[in-house]
């Protein structure tokens, strides 16, 4: 089997780490994805746009998952050191 369940969990952890370390000032504002650029209203079709939803998802991930990611990263590092 090419991808095991643990590899999928590692991938999810790495992607969450990547989103959590994005700098809003240095990266997100430059591409127009900062929190100030998102409009919290609804578009003409009755919902918010995909871009606005992704901006809010990035901001929520950066806010909520900071401390759980630290603990989870330490657990994974210890696991990989002990059991390889």
Query: Cα(11)–Cα(8) distance, rounded to whole angstroms?
Result: 5
CA atoms within 13 A on the CB side of 32: 3
Worst-scoring range by mean pLDDT, 9-18, 22-31, 35-44, 74-83? 35-44
pLDDT for the residue numbered 36: 63
Q: Write the pLDDT tens digit of every residue in 19-64.
A: 888 777 777 777 777 766 555 555 555 557 787 888 778 888 888 8
| Rounded mean pLDDT, 65-80 | 91
Instruction: Please count the helices (runs of H) and the strands (runs of E) in the chain.
Output: 3, 0
pTM beyond 0.75: the answer is no
Domain boundaries along the sequence of the chain = 24-83
* Residues 32, 16: Cα–Cα separation, whole Å: 21
Rounded to whole angstroms, how far apart are CA atoms 26 and 76?
A: 29
């Amino acid at each position: 089997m090419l991808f095991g369940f643990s590899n999928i969990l590692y991938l999810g952890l790495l992607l969450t780490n990547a989103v959590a370390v994005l700098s809003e000032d240095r990266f997100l504002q430059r591409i127009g994805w900062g929190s100030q650029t998102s409009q919290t209203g609804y578009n003409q079709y009755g919902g918010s746009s995909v871009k606005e939803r992704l901006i809010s998802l990035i901001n929520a991930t950066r806010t909520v998952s900071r401390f759980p990611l630290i603990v989870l990263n330490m657990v994974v590092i210890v696991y990989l050191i002990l059991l390889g």
